[in-house]
Amino acid sequence: MTEPSAIRPSTRSGPVHPAFPTRRAIVGGAAVAGVAWALTYRPTPDRPWTQLTGKAPWSPRDGTALLVHNDSLWVFGGSASNQILDVGDGWSSINGIDWRKEVDRAAWTPSGQSMSVTFAGRLWRMGGFVVQESQVLPIGEIWSSADGRTWTLATAAPAWRPRGGGALVVHNGRLWLLGGTRHPRNEGDQPALGDVWSTENGVDWTEVAANAPWKPRAFHSVIVHNGRLWVIGGGHWGKNPMFYRDVWSSLDGIKWTEHSSKGAWPGRIWATAASYKGLLWIMGGSIGPRGGSTNDTWYSNDGRDWYPYLAAKPWPPPRAAHSSIVFNDQLLVLAGSDGDYFNDVWGLKIERDEVFPGSSLTRAQKWLYMTFKP
């Protein structure tokens, strides 16, 4: 049998030259080198988050409302120490560092996982859960305030079903309510909801869609970005929790476009999202019973392709049910919980080209880093 030429001794006189690598060897070597590069690659860190304060004067909490009203930040309500009922106070700040208590115990019914928004020159608080005779029940009360101190009950029975964990957002001069759940653990005949409602005055509501094409959900993020409503993530909690990572948008709340059915980030509930520097952002949240909470940050230009924001210093520790908002050209994150409850405030101020460079290679490198990092 004739030996392969690659290993048969040469019969020619003179020096023996090694055979040139085959195409397979070249491709294989390049693949190994590429994987090794991906495993060891550390991209230039993005601009760090700055801790504005590690201990605000308001008590540690999660699920707190964070709004901008009359050129000031407002924090009110929220839950602490695993209590479903909220703390009921209200605070304001012009910089996120120095806070002033505006009300010690607001007039609204103590409730957990309510929904809040700034609309038509007033602060609004709606829905939530209360405990009655050892039962957790949803309410539909709508309260509003012009100054954050004096609160008025606008209606106790709006057209939409009582709920908590929904999302409120202002779009095209109207206030919108999307989704939520009838029970915080999605139990029994109290399921998550997939409806869409809107109002011009905060009291008289119109059902825009009884069943939107996105799956019924609660604890999701809804923002307005590029003139559209965006629904991001969410799901429900309970015996069989769900953690969605889809992204939808709509101009009118009726016709919806699915931009991503499986985002690059893990599915999550109790996350927070924002529109900042022309980009969509999603941050933190609970990513599953085993995964716990996270403090990762992702951004997207179109809702389809998402990239990690690899800050040199992220906001620690991981958390869910925190709050975020854009204020004074900064993206702010505060409060939340992960076993412990927090009352810190973090800010991120960037230029757009710092986080979304024109080089697709940079974005590919970040994707490889997140995919293959040890």
Which has the higher per-residue pLDDT, 35 or 74?
74
Residue 22: strand, helix, or coil: coil
Range of the domain at 329: 48-372
Average pLDDT across the chain, whole number? 87
**How far, CA to CA in Å, does 194 sit from each of 214, 262, 356?**
7, 19, 33
**Does 42 map to a domain?**
no
Look at 347 and 30; give whichever has higher pLDDT: 347
Q: Distance (Å, rounded) from C-alpha 327 to C-alpha 331? A: 7
Confirm if 190 and 138 have CB atoms less than 8 A apart: yes
Q: Would you say residue 6 lies in a domain? A: no
Per-residue pLDDT, averaged over 287-309, amounts to 90
Note the Cα 367 to chain centre separation in Å.
Answer: 19
Residue 1 predicted with pLDDT over 60: no
Higher pLDDT: 82 or 248? It is 248
333 part of a folded domain: yes
Q: What is the pTM of this model?
A: 0.85
Identify whether the C-beta of residue 343 lies closer than 8 Å to the C-beta of residue 56.
yes
Q: Which residues pair with 14 in a beta bridge?
A: none
Euclidean distance between CA atoms 311 and 7, whole angstroms? 53
* pLDDT reported for residue 351: 83
Residue 349 scores a pLDDT above 90: yes
Using the Cα atoms of residue 148, residue 151, residue 152 and residue 154 in order, give the sign of their dihedral: positive
Q: Is the pLDDT of residue 263 over 90?
A: no
Residue 22 lies in a domain: no
Residue 273 is part of a domain; what is its CATH number? 2.120.10.80
CA dihedral for 320, 323, 326, 328, sign (positive or negative): negative
Written as six digits, the tokens of 96 are: 């996120």
What is the structure's pLDDT at 18?
47
Q: How many structural domains are present in the chain?
A: 1
The answer to whether residue 16 sits within a structural domain is no
Q: What is the pLDDT of residue 118?
A: 98
Residue 9 counted as domain residue: no
User: pLDDT tens for residues 299-348?
Assistant: 999 999 999 998 888 899 999 999 999 999 999 999 999 989 999 999 99
Give yes or no for a contact between 141 and 129, defined as CB atoms under 8 angstroms apart. Answer: no
Which one-letter DSSP state was computed for residue 318?
-
Decide if 341 is inside a domain.
Answer: yes
Tell me the CA distances in angstroms from 204 to 142, 170, 344, 363, one per residue in order.
Answer: 11, 15, 37, 46
Question: Per the domain annotation, does 5 fall within a domain?
Answer: no
pLDDT above 70 (res 57): yes
CA angle (356, 361, 365) in 5-degree steps:
90
Average confidence (pLDDT) over 198-202: 98
What residues have CB less than 8 Å from 365, skipping those under 6 apart?
41, 43
Contact 137, 130 (CB under 8 A): yes
